[in-house]
Amino acid sequence: MRGENLMQSCENCGEKFTWKQIWKSMNLAYRPIYCKKCGTVYKVPFDQKWKVAFIISFPLLILEFFSFPIFEVSLRSSLIILLSWTVVVMLSLPFTIRYKKIT
């Protein structure tokens, strides 16, 4: 299957992190993840935090400041688009964020 390599795995034992582990870590201020099999600790590096902030905010800013005034989209429609984007991004972030092993 093509999508099976999207989720990060432990560098020591190869155990894949679950979507739930990563999502929970992200939503609890990027708490460390512990490998369920060998106990290795992984933490989100600072550059990955910037990546997340950019992925979430940049498209929203572009849509808000450039597209909506030009096309005169209603406030309600713009909020629906912005909230939809945020939900899609938040659900897909566990596939893109990378944790680094703490040595």
State pLDDT tens for residues 28-86. Answer: 888 999 999 999 999 989 888 888 888 878 877 777 676 655 666 677 777 787 788 88
User: What's the pLDDT score for residue 67?
Assistant: 60
Q: Helix or strand or coil: residue 86? A: helix
At 1, the pLDDT band (50, 70, 90 cuts) reads very low
Task: Please compute the mean of the pLDDT values over residues 82-98 and round it to a whole number.
Answer: 85
Question: Residue ranges of the alpha helices (H) in the chain?
Answer: 19-27, 46-62, 68-71, 75-96
This prediction's pTM: 0.70
